[in-house]
Amino acid sequence: MLNLHDEFNYQPELIDRLNRLYAVIGQHRFTTATLMALAGGFFLMQWLLLADQASGYPWLGIPVLMAAVWFSVMPATRIAKTLAWSVRLHQGFLSFRDLNWMHAMTKRHPSLLAGAEIYLQSKTPVPMDALRQFWPNLVNEEEKSRPKLD
């Protein structure tokens, strides 16, 4: 799991949840996609098994198979960000501590400053979704700076 704590050992709760989700997706991504594909195949087989197609749900197999393909093809950061969509329903705003954490991360990775500047210099309260938008770029930078184990 990525260590995205600042010098005060702080990490926003949303970032912690995204990191945990990212770690689980990284470890079990293809197993989950395989199980989803099997479930989609089972639903599609109902067309062949049931004489009365109105009693089964074979059409459910198509979106389940599409989700399995999406799960296996998309980058893990995109999957975690999408699965954390409920943040958009949250009416809260970032605290000063969260903004300071974001500023600390831009000091750690200066290339993130361009994307975070609108949040850091905002005169109005910054919605929680800003962390969800900031996080994938931060993970990409952390992955780049990690030493390669060859």
- Asked if 59 and 66 count as a contact pair (C-beta separation under 8 A), the reply is no
- Asked if 102 and 116 count as a contact pair (C-beta separation under 8 A), the reply is yes
Q: What's the pLDDT at 61? A: 83
Q: Quick one: angle between helices 13-49 and 129-145, nearest 10?
A: 90
pTM for the structure as a whole: 0.70
Q: What's the pLDDT at 149? A: 62
Q: Which helix (H) or strand (E) holds 13?
A: helix 13-49
What pLDDT digit, counting tens, does each position of 80-138 carry? Answer: 888 877 766 667 888 888 899 999 999 999 999 998 999 999 999 998 888 888 888 88
Q: What's the pLDDT at 55? A: 64
Q: Quick one: angle between helices 13-49 and 61-73, nearest 10?
A: 140
Average pLDDT, integer, range 52-70: 79
Average pLDDT over the chain reads 83
